Amino acid sequence: MTLKLADTSGSWVYIMPVSGMALTAAVHEEYQVDRVTFVTVRRLARVRRRLGLPKRLSEMKALHALAAFLGDPLQVVAVVRHQGKPSDLDARIVRMVTEALQILSVSQLGYAKRRLNAFPAVDGPHRTRQHHLCVNAQDGAAIGSSQLRGKLGELTLDSGWVKYQKRVFFSQLMSILQRDQAVSRSWKQTLRRVAVLVGQSQTSSDLAHAFLLNMIAIEALLTVQGDKYSDALPERVEALIGWIGFWRTSDYENRIRAAYKARCRYVHEGDASAVTVADLLFLDDIVLNLLVNIVGHPALFTSKEDVIAFSSRVSAERVLGITGRNAKVRPKTLRHVARSYSDQDLRRI
């Protein structure tokens, strides 16, 4: 009895077409997240041996009917090399690629308007056409509507994307996740989980779901078991961004407390009625600036314990009345990225 190919142990290279993403010359049509390499078919034809492919793409396309996507030179594919049996690996590889895309989607935080965000995925475009009729109950006059819903655009890794990510936080985050930075292993794992959560939030079209993912990410960054979250969250966010004028003028402390209450109401009672688009965009800004300052100071924040201790020192200074130029705990290199939102942004999420 011959062994099925799917049950054959070996070194296997998976190639999966990806939707909602474009690679340009600014990144050499190739970008790596962990063990997943995203590459255009055109680039793959030139670097196939480095990625473990022994045959030309034209040969593979000719041999396999499902490889038609290899005929589009600009098609982005995910390439993963893994040891084992395909029958055991398939689901694991899909999860690896999906998680890599979620991490990459974090780069949309602050870079793009949430309503215009893309949804890079391995399972096809995340868009539908929605139809409805609006009928006048008195005379039967009707208005018909048909529109595309969901994530319509692409996450394009071009020169503008590269410049923004180097300037804000994503490049620093990837440096921590993928290189030997002086942070604890558990903190690196936490940052990775946070990246996945925020990436999922950025690609979600569901308001309450996106809000909850952001909230969980903030809690993962700033809290430990035993904390009273309703107090710990505003205190620790304040330590990192409370020096900006918006903290008081826009009542950030009470807005964070209200967001946490809305989160608990949703989680414990299934009631998402308190969640608004403004709440979601507010949490986007909080997550953005937490990441800007935390990953921007890898030597200062090598663990979650460092973040908590930093917050305690900032609070102690405030209690002692040490403020302004006399305050020493907060480094002068802390930053705040301000975002502005239009009425259209508040309507279309």
Helix residue ranges per DSSP H, 64-206:
86-105, 159-167, 170-178, 185-203
Q: What local confidence, expressed as pLDDT, does residue 97 receive?
A: 96
- Give residue 169's identity as a one-letter amino acid code: F
pLDDT tens per residue, range 196-239: 999 999 999 999 999 999 999 999 999 999 999 999 999 999 99
Q: What local confidence, expressed as pLDDT, does residue 126 receive?
A: 64
**pTM: predicted TM-score of the whole model, two decimal places:** 0.90
Rounded CA-CA distance 255/325 in Å is 27
pLDDT tens per residue, range 147-190: 656 666 899 999 999 999 999 999 999 999 998 777 999 999 99
18 φ, ψ (degrees, to nearest 5) = -120, 135
**For range 106-115, the mean pLDDT:** 94
Lowest mean pLDDT among 75-89, 129-143, 335-349: 129-143
Q: Retrieve residue 126's tokens.
A: 């995340």
Q: Retrieve residue 128's tokens.
A: 């539908």
**For range 309-336, the mean pLDDT:** 90
The answer to whether 304 and 194 are in contact (CB under 8 A) is no
- In this predicted structure, the answer to whether residue 2 has a pLDDT above a threshold of 60 is no
The answer to whether 159 and 165 are in contact (CB under 8 A) is no
302 φ, ψ (degrees, to nearest 5) = -90, -5
Rounded CA-CA distance 305/294 in Å is 12
* pLDDT > 90 fraction of the chain, expressed in percent and rounded: 73
Rounded CA-CA distance 309/172 in Å is 22
pLDDT band at 344 (very low <50, low <70, confident <90, very high): confident
Strands (E), the chain: 10-17, 21-23, 30-33, 36-40, 76-84, 127-135, 142-150, 155-157
Q: Beta partners for 150? A: 127
Q: Any idea where the domains of the chain sit in the sequence?
A: 5-115, 168-347
Residue 46, helix vs strand vs coil? helix
